[in-house]
Structure 1
Amino acid sequence: MTAYECPRCRIQSPVEALTWCCPKCRGPWDLAFTSAPVPLPSLASRVNSLWRYAEALPPLPYGPEVSLGEGRTPLVRLTDSDDGSVSAKLDFLMPTLSFKDRGAVMLAAHARRLGPRTVLADSSGNAGTAIAAYGARAGLDCVVYVPEGTSPKKLEQIRAHGARIVEVPGDREATARAAREAADEPGVFYASHVYNPYFLHGTKTYVYELWEELGGRLPDTIVVPVGNGTLLLGAALAVEELYGHGLVEHRPALVAVQAEAVSPLAEAFHAGAEDLTGPAVARPTLAEGIAIPAPPRARQILRAVRATGGTFLTVTEEQIRTAQRDLAGRGLFVEATGVACWAAVSATPPRPGLTVVPLCGAGAKTGLAS
Structure 2
Amino acid sequence: MPTHTTEATALPDRCCPADGTRVPADSLAWSCPACRGPLDLDFSPAPAPLKALTGRVNSLWRYAECLPLPAPAISLGEGRTPLVELAGPISAKLDFLMPTLSFKDRGAVMLAALARRLGPDRVIADSSGNAGTAVAAYCARAGLDCTVYVPSGTSPKKLEQITAHGARLHIVDGDRESTARAARAAADEPGTFYASHVHNPYFLHGTKTYVHELWEDLGGHLPDALVVPVGNGTLLLGAALAIRELHTAGLIARRPALYSVQSAAVAPLAEAWRAGADDLVGESPTAPTFAEGIAIPRPPRARQILHAVRASGGGFLTVTEEQIVTAQRDLAARGLYVESTGVACWAAVRDGALGERTAVVPLCGAGAKTGLANAVEG
CA distances 1:195-220 after superposition (whole Å, capped 9, x unpaired): 00000000000000000000001111
Aligned match of 2:307: 303
Deviation at 1:348, TM superposition (A): 4.0
* Higher mean C-alpha displacement, 42-51 vs 217-226: 42-51
The 1-side partners of 2:99 and 2:278 are apart by: 37
Summarize the alignment of residues 1-370 of structure 1 with structure 2, pairs less than 5 Å apart: 1=2, 2-58=12-68, 60-61=69-70, 63-80=71-88, 85-370=89-374
Q: Matches of 1:128 and 1:282 in 2, distance apart?
A: 23
TM value normalised by structure 2: 0.95
Given that residues 47 and 63 in structure 2 are in contact (C-alpha distance below 8 angstroms), is that contact kept between their aligned partners in structure 1?
no
Stretches (4+) displaced over 4 A: none
- The residue type paired with residue 346 of structure 1 is R
Identity rate, percent? 73
Is the alpha carbon distance of 1:208 and 1:267 closer, same or farther for their aligned partners in structure 2, counting shifts above 3 Å? same
Deviations along 1:224-283, one digit per CA (max 9) or x if unpaired, are: 000000000000000001000000000000000000000000000111000000122331
Looking at structure 1, the residues matched to 151 and 353 of structure 2 have their Cα atoms a distance apart, in angstroms, of 37
Residues 145-203 of structure 1 deviation map (CA, whole Å, 9 limit, x = unaligned): 00001100000000000000000011000000000000000000000000000000000
1:314 touches 1:344 (CA, 8 Å); kept in 2?
yes
- Structure 2 counterpart of 1:106, one-letter code: M
1:241 & 1:107 partners in 2: Cα distance?
21
Deviations 1:303-327, CA, capped at 9 Å, x for gaps? 0000010000000000000000000
Q: Would you say the 8 A contact 1:282–1:292 is kept in 2?
A: no
Supply the AA of the counterpart residue of 1:143: T
Between the two proteins, the alignment pairs up a number of residues equal to 364
In the aligned structure 2, how far is the partner of 1:12 from the partner of 1:145?
28
Aligned-pair Cα RMSD in Å: 0.8
**Which amino acid in the other structure matches residue 250 of structure 2?**
G
- For structure 1, list consecutive stretches of 5 or more residues without a partner in the other structure: none
Amino acid at match of 2:341: T
Q: Which moved more, 1:333-342 or 1:275-284?
A: 275-284
> Do 1:136 and 1:162's aligned partners in 2 also have CA atoms closer than 8 Å?
yes
